Amino acid sequence: MSALTPFGARLADAVADRGPLCVGIDPHPALLRAWGLTEDVAGLERFAMTAVTALAGEVAVLKPQSAFFEAYGSRGVAVLERVIAEARQAGALVLLDVKRGDIGSTMAAYAAAYLVEGSPLAGDAVTVSPYLGFGSLEPALLAARANGRGVFVLAMTSNPEGGAVQRAVDTGGRSVAQAVVDAAAERNAEDLEEVGGTLGSVGVVVGATIDPAAGLDLSRLAGPILAPGLGAQGATVADLHRVFGPALPRVLPTTSRDVLRHGPEVPALRDAVRRVRDSIAEITG
């Protein structure tokens, strides 16, 4: 499929071929030290490209965390550009974790950087924040649709601080997180009616660590659900069914440190990711 095929369709094919696991590439200084690497651009590049070599042929989605590359300035961003290009060439979809959210021309500029064909930072999808209002994401949503990309909108995240905003309710009793999910569902319904398919390109981020009692209704979403928190943040594969229930077939469980800690040897990284992938397959069928 070409890059202009809707992201939802490309993701569905990738998951059918490789399973639903998403692995983060997070070059945290502690991980660089654990791998015996220097905390500089050379160490960053060695870490990131080893992860690409080990994982890009194994998983459906790789998720580089932009901040860890930006911390090294322009040379770090150049490494990120290489990660995006080489991971995609190896067959993985690249979800760039940037969590951008702004208004007007600034949001349009972010969209041009991360979602428009030809940009060196354009992967297959990005994470975005809706907390300036879901409507502020319009430039990103339009760019994603026009370029066959996807967006994952923060809804109910895995960090404990998020609940103060995301679980707040309006006068009708609907939580902020539910309003985000409902807006994403409306967008997917419009897009799927126009282009067809069964999986929309507007996903949401819902932590695998959340309490199901939060009552988040994902039944109308018709899009993917990125579920961070597997492994180091405390969520287990067994938790996925408990948290997501009937929405599980659309969930992309996400892990980073739990796989990356097995580096720097490529065979060890591959063995680790295959174990996680196989354990997920046991509960998802």
Query: Per residue in 14-23, pLDDT tens?
Result: 999 999 999 9
Residue 1 in this model has a pLDDT that exceeds 60: no
Of 177 and 285, the structure prediction assigns the larger pLDDT to: 177
Q: Is residue 154 part of a domain?
A: yes
Q: 173 Cβ partners below 8 Å, 6+ apart?
A: none
Does residue 1 form part of some domain? Answer: no
Residue 96 has pLDDT above 80, yes or no: yes
**Number of folded domains in the chain?**
1
Q: What is the pTM of this model?
A: 0.96
Residue 199 has pLDDT above 80, yes or no: yes
Q: Is 43 helix (H, G, I), strand (E, B) or coil?
A: helix
CATH value at residue 200? 3.20.20.70
- What torsion do the CA atoms of 161, 172, 154, 258 make, to the nearest 10 degrees? 60
More confident position, 83 or 161: 83
Domain of 91, in residue numbers: 7-284
Chain segment 4-54, per-residue pLDDT in tens: 899 999 999 999 999 999 999 999 999 999 999 999 999 999 999 999 999
Looking at residue 285, what is its pLDDT?
Answer: 63
Residue 29 lies in a domain: yes
**Does the residue 2 lie in any domain?**
no
204 inside domain: yes
Report pLDDT for 2: 57
- Report the number of secondary-structure helices (H) and strands (E) in the chain: 12, 8
pLDDT in tens, 225-267: 999 988 767 788 888 988 999 999 999 999 999 999 999 999 9
> Tens digit of pLDDT for each residue in 119-174?
999 999 999 999 999 999 999 999 999 999 999 999 999 888 898 999 999 888 99
10 Å CB burial of residue 182 (0-12, 13-18, 19+) is middle
* Residues 136, 147, 104: CA angle, nearest 5 degrees: 20
Q: What 3-state DSSP class applies to 235? A: strand
In a domain, 181, yes or no: yes
pLDDT average, residue stretch 171-182? 94
Residue 223 domain flag: yes
User: Which residues belong to the active site?
Assistant: 99
Amino acid 39: pLDDT = 97
pLDDT at 282: 86
In a domain, 271, yes or no: yes
What SS3 class is residue 251?
strand
Task: Give the pair of three-digit tokens for residue 271.
Answer: 């063995």
Inter-CA distances, 203 with 38, 41, 187, Å: 36, 32, 10
